[in-house]
Amino acid sequence: MCHSDECGCGQHGHHGPARAGHHHRGCGCGAGYGTGRYPTREEIVAELEEYLQQLQEEVKGVEERIADFKKTG
């Protein structure tokens, strides 16, 4: 699966990052790494770090909602 919603291939995922690059080879529509190209270690690490940041922001939002519920009783 690739990351672009604009290619029209219909194979775009909305789930976390590539696991060892597997979803980047999906549609081959020009986005991601294309068919037959595996991401480098550096690319995988960068993508996982970005995903971790997104998860941390989501956790923060959940913690804030829990705090709001506790305040309002």
> Distance between CA 72 and CA 13 in Å, rounded?
37
The pLDDT value given to residue 73? 73
Query: Could you read off the pLDDT tens digit of each residue along the chain, which spans 73 residues?
Result: 455 555 555 555 555 555 544 444 445 555 566 678 999 999 999 999 999 999 999 999 999 999 999 998 7
Q: Residues for the chain: how many in total?
A: 73
Q: What is the pLDDT of residue 24?
A: 46
Q: Which residues have C-beta within 8 Å of that of residue 25, sequence separation ≥ 6?
A: 32, 33, 34, 35, 36, 37, 38
Residue ranges of the domains in the chain?
A: 1-73
